[in-house]
């Protein structure tokens, strides 16, 4: 054996790996490496690709495996699935048959106990009563015979119940449906008690529901009234911008950002529902919308010192001495005065603007934005989220300015409007 190995193989390892190398040579013959080219016609480029023996063999094995798997799955689906469905149906039929047997057996047992009690009573009367007339004794004897007949019938039916595969229960022959009648009467009594209890509970729930609805409606009315009083001061400004209150509330309920509350989904009811629920749903929608407006709208002053040096509108330009529209409000201040955000929002612009100097602009949502101009130093960056009271910059006199102050603008959909009522809110 050793001589054979040393004669034909260079080493023991070569002898051990010989079967695998032989198999690999067969694979290489069947799946030799291939080279193919692909031309990129639009660009005129030619690409060459090599497919190794290992890659071609692996792809072939994968295809064979896929075909085998698909064939087996098809076989299982075509052959085993109908058989499984048939077995499932048979099992379901057996369960139903067993349940029917149990129910019938319980009914027969109940009737057997009832007949046994009646038989015992009749036997006691016949045996112990000494004042029975012949007619009464004969009636008792006939009743006893009748009961025995019914017991024999029950015995026959129970035997059929377990012996006959095509058993079909027949209650019409069991003492004039007495068993079924007793069961139905007991169920009706139980259902009647449950209905009475259910009606009582429904009345209690209805009373509690009315109290809750009335209480919540009162609370929402009060809060809606309070919020409307806060926003009444800017109603005229909103109307001048063509903004309807209901539209603004609906948009507010749909608006959300990382700082304010999530979107509020209005509650809808069927048209036939009580109007008190519709009124409450309307109040809740109004409350949610007004609350968000009170938070999102840029209401309030950006500086602690609200001394206005120049209002919105036409004025004499301090440089040209000619009439020119002033698109914001100027607040008196010193260089370094802290300027705060009046509402939550996202900084959309920071930097120099022609005539405005250093500026910070904040988008508050719903189409509203605020602009701080002539700053000495911005303290936020583009993309920052700010909360009410966040210091966004320091007052200064950069740009086209005659002295230290804050030029403050409020825009709706990119257009400036008089922010006086928003500032005095």
Does 362 have pLDDT greater than 90? yes
Taking residues 391-420, what's their average pLDDT? Answer: 91
**124-181 per-position pLDDT tens digit:** 777 777 777 777 878 888 888 888 877 777 777 777 766 665 555 544 444 444 555 5
Measured CA distances, 192 to 28, 89, 145, 198 (Å): 86, 38, 38, 10
HSE value, Cβ hemisphere, 13 Å, CA-based, for 69 = 6
How many other C-beta atoms are found inside a 10 Å radius of the C-beta of residue 363? 16
| 333 touches 327 (CB < 8 A) | no
Measured CA distances, 156 to 82, 169, 194, 382 (Å): 40, 12, 39, 94
Cα distance from N-terminal residue to C-terminal residue, the chain: 107
pLDDT confidence of 391, banded at 50, 70, 90? very high
Please give the mean pLDDT across all residues of the chain. Answer: 81
**56-72 per-position pLDDT tens digit:** 888 888 889 999 988 88
Say how far apart CA 356 and CA 335 lie, in whole Å.
Answer: 15
Q: Looking at residue 77, what DSSP letter applies?
A: I
**Six token digits for residue 317:** 């330009």
- The DSSP code sequence of 137-199 is HHHHHHHHHHHHHHHHHHHHHHHHHHH-TT----GGGSGGGHHHHHHHHHHHHHHHHHHHHHH
How high is the pLDDT of residue 173? 45
Residue 380 has φ and ψ, to the nearest 5°, of -130, 165
| 358 touches 374 (CB < 8 A) | yes
pTM value?
0.51
Measured CA distances, 113 to 68, 150, 154, 179 (Å): 65, 12, 11, 11
Least reliable range by pLDDT among 112-116, 310-314, 326-330, 373-377: 112-116
Say how far apart CA 345 and CA 387 lie, in whole Å.
Answer: 7
Taking residues 235-262, what's their average pLDDT? Answer: 84
How many other C-beta atoms are found inside a 10 Å radius of the C-beta of residue 249? 20
How high is the pLDDT of residue 175? 45
Say how far apart CA 375 and CA 356 lie, in whole Å.
Answer: 9
Residue 111 exposed, middle or buried by CB count within 10 Å (0-12, 13-18, 19+): buried
């Amino acid at each position: 054996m050793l001589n054979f190995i040393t004669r034909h193989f260079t080493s023991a390892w070569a002898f051990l790996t010989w079967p695998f190398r032989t198999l690999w040579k067969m694979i290489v013959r069947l799946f030799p490496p291939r080279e193919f080219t692909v031309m990129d016609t639009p660009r005129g480029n030619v690409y060459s690709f090599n497919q190794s023996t290992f890659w071609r063999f692996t792809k072939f094995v994968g295809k064979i495996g896929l075909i085998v798997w698909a064939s087996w799955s098809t076989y299982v689906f075509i052959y085993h699935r109908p058989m499984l469905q048939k077995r499932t149906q048979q099992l379901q039929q057996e369960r139903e048959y067993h349940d029917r047997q149990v129910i019938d057996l319980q009914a027969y047992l109940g009737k057997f106990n009832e007949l046994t009690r009646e038989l015992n009573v009749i036997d006691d009367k016949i045996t112990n009563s000494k004042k029975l007339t012949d007619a009464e004794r004969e009636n008792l004897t006939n009743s006893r015979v009748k009961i025995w007949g019914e017991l024999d019938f029950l015995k026959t039916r129970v035997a059929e119940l377990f012996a006959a595969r095509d058993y079909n229960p027949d209650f019409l022959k069991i003492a004039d449906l007495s068993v079924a009648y007793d069961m139905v009467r007991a169920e009706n009594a139980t259902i009647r008690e449950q209905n009475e209890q259910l009606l009582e509970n429904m009345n209690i729930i209805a009373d509690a529901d009315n109290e809750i609805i009335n209480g919540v409606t009162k609370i929402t009315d009060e809060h809606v009234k309070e919020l409307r009083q806060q926003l009444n001061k800017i109603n005229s400004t909103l109307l001048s911008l063509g903004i309807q209150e209901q539209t603004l509330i609906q948009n507010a309920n749909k608006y959300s950002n990382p700082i304010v509350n999530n979107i509020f989904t209005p509650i809808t009811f069927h048209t036939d529902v009580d109007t008190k629920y519709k009124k409450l749903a309307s109040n809740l929608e109004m409350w949610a919308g007004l609350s968000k407006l009170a938070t999102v709208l840029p209401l309030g002053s950006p500086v602690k010192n609200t001394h206005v040096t120049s209002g919105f509108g036409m004025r004499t330009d301090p440089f040209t001495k000619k009439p020119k529209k002033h698109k914001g409000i100027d607040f008196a201040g010193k260089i370094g005065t802290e300027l705060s955000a009046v509402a939550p929002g996202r900084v959309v612009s920071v930097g120099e603007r022609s005539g405005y100097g250093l500026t910070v602009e904040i988008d508050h949502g719903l189409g509203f934005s605020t602009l701080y101009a002539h700053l000495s130093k911005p303290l936020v960056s583009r993309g920052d989220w700010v909360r009410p009271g966040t210091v966004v910059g320091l007052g200064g006199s950069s740009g086209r300015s005659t002295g230290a102050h804050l030029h403050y603008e409020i825009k709706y959909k990119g257009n400036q409007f008089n922010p006086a009522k928003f500032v005095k809110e």
